[in-house]
A and B are shown apart, each in its own frame.
Chain A
């Protein structure tokens, strides 16, 4: 079974559209994250969620909004897509937000978003 899954794997859309990327984890983790990997392969955190509360909100445009229907899901909604949003988006999860000795983040396979 896949620990952290994302859908879709590829997403091609026109500028100005609204799209969503789904993420699910079956590890029973408390915290989930979204990362953006740009064309230079630099991975940067966007959001993290713990118990339905937004913990980190980096300086990302408010066109991006994470939504968590339950602890196992953290979906990424993007409004009014722009060319610069083209990237690979990774979802991840970890056991807890607080510091533990085994707080490895487990990553999904990524979603390649292309905005035309």
Chain B
């Protein structure tokens, strides 16, 4: 059974710092991995999607990497801003079967002005 873990559970950084969020998964047979952002009281917004054949994806100040064989992904946020404060969730889709996403428990990020 796929299990997704995110470390740390919470992170506080001063504005302007670069930071890395970690995600690990137990079953490497994945089709893709996604990073989502969740703001308090709101739904999830997809940030980056990495196919299993890819090593990384970039969008603006965000860079996500994927090491499928070791079951790890990182989300790198450059020059953090207070507006980046949110909970970040990673989710993996299994290689076979339906479009089912297994979510981690998230990392709550606070960027201090």
Contacts and interface: CB of A to CB of B under 8 A. Distances in A.
A66 interface: no
Contacts of B34: 104
Nearest to B48: A104
Interface residues of B, number: 23
Contacts of A97: 98-99
Given A41-B87, A90-B44, A105 B98 contact: no
Interface string B10-46: 0000000000000000000001101010000111111
Contacts, number: 55
Q: Report whether over half of chain B's contact residues are helix, strand or loop; otherwise say mixed.
A: strand
A68 interface: no
Interface residues of A, number: 28
B46 A56 contact: no
Interface stretch (A14-22, A71-79, A107-115): A107-115
A105 B51 CA distance: 14
16 contacts: A41-B106, A42-B105, A45-B100, A48-B98, A55-B98, A56-B98, A97-B99, A101-B51, A102-B49, A104-B49, A105-B101, A107-B36, A107-B43, A107-B45, A110-B41, A110-B42
Interface of A: 4, 31, 35, 40-45, 48, 55-56, 90, 92, 94, 96-97, 99, 101-110
